[in-house]
Structure 1
Amino acid sequence: MDLFLDKSWVKLNRAREEYRNALVTFLDHAFATSAVENKIACPCGNCANRFYHERELVMKHMIMKGMDIDYQKCIWVFHGEPRVCDDDNFLYNNSTDVPNNSCNNDILRMVEDAFEFHEPSSSSTPSMNDEAKTFFKLIDDAKQPLYPGCEEFSKLSFTVEMYHLKCLYGVSNVGFDAFVKLFKRALPKDSALPNSFNQMQTIIKKLGLDYRKIDVCPNDCVLFWKEKIGLDKCPVCDELRWKTTDDGSVIKLASGQKVPKKVLRHFPLIPRLKRLFISSKTAHLMRWHADEREDDGKLRHPADSTAWKCFDERYPTFASDARNVRLGLSSDGFNPFGMMSSQYSIWPVVLMAYNLPPWLCMKQSYFMLSLIIPGPKGPGNDIDVFLEPLIDELQLLWEVGVDTFDASKGETFRLYGALLWTINDFPAYGNLSGWKTKGKCACPYCNIDSCSFYLEGSKKLCYLYHRRLLDDDHSFRHDSRSFNGQVELRPPPKLWTGSELLKQMENVDVVYGKHPSIHKLNKETRKRKREDDFVEEVPWKKKSLFFRLEYWEHLLVRHNLDVMHVEKNVSEKIIGTLFGIDGKTKDTKKSRIDLERMNIRPDLHPVTLNNKTYIPPACFTLSKKEKEEMLGILASVRVPDGYATNIRRRIIDGEIRNLKIHDHHILMQQLLPLALRKMKNKDVSYVLIELCNFFKELCSKVATPEDFEKLEKRIVVILCHLERIFLPSFFDIMVHLPVHLPYEAKILGPVFQRWMYPVERYMRKLESYVGNKSQLEASIAEGALAEECLGFCSRYLQDVQLRENRSSRNNDDTDDVVVGGLSIFSLKCRAMSKKREFRPDYYVIEQAHSYILSNCEEVQVYAQEHYQIVSDIYRNTPEIIDDAHRKEFPKWFADNVAKHLPSDSCTANDLKYLSMFPSMWMNIMTKERGVVSM
């Protein structure tokens, strides 16, 4: 077998002899060709060629973890495989001042990838434009040793690593500058280290991609670009474009440039997409959805979804090349002043590439910041004005495409792209889609068929009538007494197509801008249309700019309902109502008056006695004892560090307050079902536990379309039960939206790739970049640009701790020593307290045995390969099943099983461990394998 032609051995079962023989051959070749001080780069899944180890340790890592998935697809350059095209070294293969180590080679490759420089031209000399000068200057920095005789670092590699550490650990600019000066003093006088942080930053920025500034009308009417780039005033509201002094003169910089009042910062998308393919570290990942994805009918990735497949069927030319990019878009606002002010709102627009594997496509390092929409006011309905540069790029990617170099295949191809959907909370949903998310028709799925009515007492809209979504023969449809006093025979609302929605928008006209005259004009236009009998009033504010994209009309789902915010709102209402939290409960005097006016549920109507109004307890009302018991359960929960907030700290005066969104997520899916078992009214607790289980199953990472179809029916029944329990004021639009979440999951794929959790964390990161309170957007743009550049550079660094590979603060590993024996016993741990004696009972021991047998790879391999041997022995020795012989099981196991196993399958020590769990082994043999009937 040729080691490099046939690499299939890396996917063999690591417990088999064939894998170990191939591994020995691989290590022999690697140590003969690539060893440095008797060590090689360890290619296991944890080390990923970042750490160098001796042979014995590398072999153990490869058996325990296997080879790094990404490295399997690449040329094994760290272990002696020759390159197909040795273009890495054409610029420096004769250089004598560059140390011959893989770190500096990777830095040079990084510079080439950053400038799209891959194939030298022997017939012509590249023109020395500014970009070429920058490129060759960086090449010189990459070849120049940090100081004469330094073999470990070049000027560029040391600068990149130092700057990366600054960003990783959040060192301030002033503090980092002090460290730079200290290093400068410690190194030889002729060292090439930059003198200050600013000089380092200048070098790093040369590797990054820039952004451009586009002036905006102060009232958000238009962008001053394209044909409007030379205007001094807005053509819509006549507002001056430039900042002025008190006497009306235009403010100018020292260079004579005028200062605009409002600036949009645009980070071009196309260069960032091209870099994903140009970079040798990420190019192969952009084909993962086609080359590596497991296609077994389950939903794990958006590529498994119906929406993706229907898109491929409609546009087969686009689908013919797996490298064509599918994108998602998300936007939300944040206040950069925190608690200091509530009047400022900045809206970043972020894109994510769904070609990547599911564990990468929602990572911050792969997010692409596209726009920074400035404050002080949020864009609201005028967000389409700011999206124009991005839409132009998306149109170019769809209609024309761009030539892009694929580093993984060494060829140039035409790259196309498409936007699949947007991800936003519900208010931003209305801004991007143009749908009115407030009012009688707030549900975008039910559209004009929404069922809502106004509650006079609570002064709010109520969304009930979920019975119309049930099957026609369901008993709830005719149960008028338990609901609103009426029989429900209406059919469910229809599902609207994109073409039908476009027809609804035909007569929707809007003038963008926040000037008072524009608001007045839009109101008069809407008033005239309402007076026209021939124009049907529809709940659209505008025709979304996304419909300029040819394919947008034909997408099955264009805008996602954010599960994160829906779950948070539902949880907030349940907890607030159950525990009677002031301001959060939906069981108030006004809500009881609503029942009286609707003439339903008379047992809950307010009663007046002695000039005092008395509110009878409802079925969901908790007694004081029940509250204490439920809160006691929540307060006693201990979760791993970073898993959730300490709920005990959120319990104040018998109430749960100040919960974050993720805390509601953990409560709904993990903790609240436990506490609800203390409720005396089991009918109520059962329904609420069902609702919690619904969200838990909805958020599963692997499911089938049939699973979500079942959830579609379950949630309708759950909401109908809730209508019988809670008051009408409980059912606002956020309680209604879960009805449509299973449909989206069935069509679009797993929820965890379409919710706001990673985007919200990224927004928080952008907020942390604000250093200069007078230049908010500029601070965020510069910080994001530096982070983007470091994210690109970090993929080329070796033996450096990165955000992606750094260990957690609770990491138990103290060194690289691996304990022998079974892999599950080789895990090291750190004591949390002093040593003490603990004697577990039988139940705890059985749980430990179950965990070990379910999670130990060697046990699984043993069960798969040798279960027939054990089953034959069991058939011949039925008495061992008897409980009376449990104590004899270890000796019997060793005597009767070990002699039938291959000599290299299990060691004597391993057999000792395996024989300690007689009951679990018997359960496996009897229940899972069906060997013996007990």
Structure 2
Amino acid sequence: MPTRIWNLRHTCNKVQNQLVKNSKQITFHGLHRSCVKHPSVSSWLLNREIQHRFIDEDKIKCPCIKCRKIPYREVDIVKTHLYKVGFVEEYWCWDKHGEKSTDDENTFLGVDDSNTNFSESACSYRDMVIDAMTPNLNNSSLYENKKLIQALGLHVEMIDCCKYRCMIYWRRDKDLYRCKFCNADRYKRSKNLARCSRISFKKMHYFPLTPRLKRLYASQATATSMRWHSENHAHDVGVMCHPSDSEAWKHFDKSHPSFAAEVCNVRLGLSTDGFAPHGAYGKQYSHWPIILTPYNFPPSMCMKEPYMFLTALVPGPSNPKHKIDVFLQPVVAELEQLWEDGVVTYDISVKQNFHLRAALKWTISDFPAYAILSGWSTVGNHPYRKHKNKFRKNPLVIEGHPPNKNVEQTLREIEQLGLVKVTELNVDDVNKRCGDHGWKKKNIFWDLPYWKTNLIRHNFDVMHIVKNVFENFFYTVMDVKGKMKDNVVARRDLKLYCRKRKGVEDNERAYYTLDKNQKKVICQWVEKLRFPDHVSNLGSCVDLTGCRLFGMKIHDCHVFMQRSMPIAFREMLPQQVWEALAELSIFFKTLTTTLITTKDMGRIET
């Protein structure tokens, strides 16, 4: 009951009791007594509402404050009690003396039938309110959690794979029970050896890309930003701060004018690398996520986590190597569909539909993953190791590097060698015969109709390169055993070119390495070093006992090399060594800046 109504009833009850005490001729007006009025206590006792079934041997229940409608008393005693102490509080409906309750009738006056069905939108709103009132707890089962996530539109496909990664059971091969390459079973054997269970040996996760691209235009927060590269970006000549300023982007637009005419079309970049989900000290396992990133956004949003779409998850436990193309089939098929057919999408910023298309510009990876994606080998033997005579007796090589091959020449070379994709039968026998030429396969990206028009198809991750360069020189300068490049093997190689007359071995400390006291000073300085907010605490990576740094992440190496390295070794190393390291630091700092000019690129290239 609302507080205001309760206070009103309480006040009326007090006035009523006081009037009963002071006058025998009193008129009672209850709050809900709109139909029957009683001029006095005597008239109330004689009222027709006191039915015979509420009378027990000429006695009725006494409604005074003391008796409270419990004992039966004679009518005269009830009259005396009412004159002296008055009615019990809140006794507006005399249900103990034959009056019918009117509360329920008045409650539903003007209200429709409660059994009337709600509309669908009303039911959804009601369920949302009820769900918001409940505690924010996880569901009791994984099935309920999956059912909840499906309502968000986050669709995922589970595709069975061969346990040896030969193929995936997808599209035309989805009904097979054995691998068409190695004849291995698709499902695990059950306890009953006569039949197979429905549990596959290996599964991959595939997250469709199209719904997520459509959601970028369904949100007011991102729809306008998806056109930034064309409408809000000032393209200054000789300045690059976004991929749309590059020659590769402009060349692609010239090659495909119909695609470039629609500014809402999406340009994508693909990246992948292996990671251990169990950590460094857990079970050895390697997952390979396939991530697609749209480049339509401005630089402040382009590489943010919400806009890096996990599209496929290649299962472990080991490196897929060149068979990663097997798991890229759904990704390439959807990219091909987005290029040829597209999808109708609603742009909320302009309140109209348009035909959305997408194109893959390039891949980004470290050096080993580059070999996996492109098919060009970066390990093993090469001609320079076989032709050792050309490097003896101080020969002078005046020839430059071979000319760079364009896309048509590269594709023609692959086709002339007879290389095939890893998704075709007898791939191992065919590609093995062509392995001496450096190519290991024909990568799956050539299936995209526009791939041969890309000037740049594969890019190196600068952060990985910086980390590798940093570890090479830092561990060498700090003289860390097992990690430095100036080791016994390197010294033996030098003996072949710098032989001394007496043949005395020289294993003394190199002049570009630090002694123990200098290394301790460097470690103490790094331990006390504090940055504003763009790097983690490097003091946690310092080992003062061993005078070394350990556990540095890629971003830590990136910041230390560009910001701290010239300062740290300024007074420790010889002038010529320090100048080389300082130039190296400036090189990567210029290369990774947010805005770079063609003049800067020419300077660091020379």
TM-score band w.r.t. shorter chain: 0.7 to 0.9
- Which residue does the alignment assign to 2:555? 662
Match of 2:592 among 674, 699, 703: 699
Match of 1:273 among 213, 220, 227: 213
Aligned to 1:231: 176
Is 1:212 matched with 2:157?
yes
Of structures 1 and 2, the one with the larger relative CO (CA 8 A, separation 6+) is 1
**Distance across 1 between alignment mates of 2:353 and 2:344:** 7
Q: Which residue of 2 aligns with 1:499?
A: 408
Identity of matched residues, %: 36
Matching residue of 2:35? none
Q: Which amino acid aligns with 1:566?
A: I
Note the C-alpha offset of 1:420: 0.5
- 1:236 partner amino acid: F
- Aligned residue among 435, 446, 450 for 1:547: 446
SS across alignment from 1:663: helix
Confirm or deny that 1:595 pairs with 2:595.
Answer: no
Report the equivalent of 1:245: 190
Distance change in 2, residues 1:589/1:196 (3 Å) = closer
Q: Please report how far the alpha carbon of residue 145 of structure 1 lies from its aligned counterpart in structure 2 after TM superposition.
A: 8.1
Deviations 1:292-316 (A, max 9, x none): 1122232111111111111111111
Q: Distance in 1 between matches of 2:430 and 2:483?
A: 38
Change (3 A) 1:629 1:389: same
Structure 1 residues 236 and 208, CA, compared in 2 at 3 Å: closer, same or farther?
same
Distance 1:623 1:334, change over 3 A: closer
The corresponding residue for 2:310 is 369
Q: Is the 8 A contact 1:629 1:678 kept in 2?
A: no
The 3-state SS of whatever aligns with 1:286 is: helix
Alignment of 1:775-814 (within 5 A): none
User: Distance in 1 between the 2:145 and 2:205 partners?
Assistant: 24
Mapped pair 1:403 → 2:377:
no
Q: Deviations over 1:872-893 (max 9, x none)?
A: xxxxxxxxxxxxxxxxxxxxxx
Among 461, 465, 475, the residue aligned to 1:566: 465
In structure 2, the CA distance between the partners of 1:453 and 1:294, relative to structure 1 (3 Å rule), is same
**Aligned with 2:346: secondary structure?**
strand
2:283 paired with 1:338: no
Seen in structure 2, the aligned counterparts of structure 1 residues 214 and 563 have a Cα distance that, compared at 3 Å, is: same
Paired residue for 1:686, among 573, 579, 602?
579
Aligned residues of 2:541 and 2:551 also touching (Cα < 8 A):
no
Whichever residue aligns with residue 584 of structure 1, its letter is K
Which of 341, 354, 360 is 2:301 aligned to?
360
Structure 1 residue 367 displacement after superposition: 1.7
SS at match of 1:360: helix
Question: 1:509 aligned to 2:419?
Answer: yes
Instruction: State how far apart, in whole Å, the 2-side matches of 1:490 and 1:341 are.
Output: 50
Q: Does 1:259 align with 2:199?
A: yes
Q: Show the counterpart of 1:292.
A: 232
CA contact 1:607–1:615 (8 Å) conserved in 2: no
Q: SS of the counterpart of 2:327?
A: helix
Residue 651 of structure 1 and its aligned partner are, at CA, apart by: 3.0
SS of 2:204's partner is strand
Aligned-pair CA distance for 1:383: 0.8
Choose which of 248, 252, 261 in structure 2 pairs with 1:307. 248
Q: Aligned with 2:482: secondary structure?
A: coil
Match of 1:489 in 2: 398
Q: Is the 8 A contact 2:530 2:537 kept in 1?
A: no
How far apart, CA to CA, are the structure 1 residues paired with 2:470 and 2:539? 15
Q: Indicate the SS of the match to 1:289.
A: helix
Say whether residues 1:643 and 2:549 are aligned partners: no
Out of 127, 138, 144, the residue aligned to residue 126 of structure 2 is 144
1:557 to 431, 434, 456: 456
Q: 1:157 to 1:320 in 2, by over 3 A?
A: farther
Q: Note if contact 1:350-1:368 (Cα within 8 Å) is conserved in structure 2.
A: yes
Which residue of 1 is the match for residue 323 of structure 2?
382
Change (3 A) 1:511 1:504: closer
Q: 1:509 to 1:276 in 2, by over 3 A?
A: same
Q: Aligned pair count?
A: 484
What is the alpha-carbon distance in structure 2 between the residues aligned to residue 301 and residue 241 of structure 1? 46
1:349–1:372 Cα contact (<8 Å) kept: yes
Kept after mapping to 1: 8 A contact 2:375/2:443: yes
User: Any conservation in 2 of the 1:508–1:540 contact (CA below 8 Å)?
Assistant: no
Contiguous gaps of at least 5 residues in structure 1: 1-95, 97-135, 147-153, 164-175, 181-194, 253-257, 442-447, 457-464, 466-479, 531-536, 714-934
Q: Which residue of 1 aligns with 2:77?
A: none
Closer/same/farther in 2, CA of residues 513 and 207 from structure 1, 3 Å limit: closer
For residues 819-852 of structure 1, give each alpha carbon's deviation from its aligned partner in whole angstroms, at most 9, with x where no partner exists: xxxxxxxxxxxxxxxxxxxxxxxxxxxxxxxxxx
TM-score, normalised to structure 2's length? Answer: 0.73
CA distance 1:415–1:606, shift in 2 (3 Å): farther
Partners of 2:298 and 2:456 in 1: how far apart?
Answer: 22
Q: What letter matches 2:589 in structure 1? A: K
How far apart, CA to CA, are the structure 1 residues paired with 2:445 and 2:402?
25
> CA distance change for structure 1 residues 555 and 570 in 2, over 3 Å: closer, same or farther?
same
CA contact under 8 A between 1:328 and 1:423: conserved in structure 2? Answer: yes
Report the residue type matching 1:702 in the other structure. Answer: L
CA distance in 2, matches of 1:140, 1:394: 40
2:604 aligned residue (711, 718, 726): 711
Give the whole-Å Cα distance in 1 for the aligned partners of 2:400 and 2:281. Answer: 51
2:525 to 633, 636, 641: 633
* CA–CA distance in structure 1, aligned partners of residues 260 and 318 of structure 2: 41
| 8 A contact 1:404–1:414 mirrored in 2 | yes
Contact 2:434 2:440 in 1 (8 A): no
Cα displacement (A) at 1:366:
1.4
Separation in 1 of the partners of 2:459 and 2:551? 27
For residues 291 and 319 of structure 2, the distance between their equivalents in structure 1, rounded to whole angstroms, comes to 16
Q: 1:637 to 1:529 in 2, by over 3 A?
A: closer
The answer (yes or no) to whether the contact 1:634–1:648 under 8 Å persists in 2 is no
Aligned residue type for 2:297: L
Which has the larger Rg?
2
Return the structure number with greater helix share.
Answer: 1
Residue-by-residue CA offset, 1:307-344 (whole Å, 9 max, x unaligned): 11111111111000100110011112222222454532
- Aligned position for 2:70: none
Partner amino acid, structure 1, of 2:285: Y
Structure 1 residues 198, 543: CA separation in 2 closer, same or farther (over 3 Å shift)? closer
1:675 aligns with 2:568: yes
Structure 1 counterpart of 2:214, one-letter code: K
Q: Is the 8 A contact 2:291 2:310 kept in 1?
A: yes
Quickly say closer, same or farther: Cα 1:489–1:540, change in 2 above 3 A: same
After TM superposition, give the deviation of residue 579 of structure 1 in Å: 1.2
Closer, same or farther: CA 591–204 of 1 in aligned 2, 3 Å: closer
Aligned-partner SS, 1:596: helix
Residues 752-771 of structure 1: CA deviation (Å, up to 9, x unaligned): xxxxxxxxxxxxxxxxxxxx
Deviations 1:763-804 (A, max 9, x none): xxxxxxxxxxxxxxxxxxxxxxxxxxxxxxxxxxxxxxxxxx
In structure 1, C-alpha distance between the alignment counterparts of 2:142 and 2:332, rounded to whole Å: 37
Q: Give the Cα separation in 1 of the matches to 2:124 and 2:141.
A: 19
Distance in structure 2 (CA, Å) of the matches to 1:685 and 1:606: 33
Which position in structure 2 is the counterpart of 1:869? none
Equivalent residue in structure 2 for 1:586, among 478, 485, 489 = 485
Q: Does residue 1:221 correspond to 2:166, yes or no?
A: yes
TM-score (norm 1): 0.48
Unaligned runs of 5+ in 2: 1-110, 112-118
For 2:453, the aligned partner's letter is: H
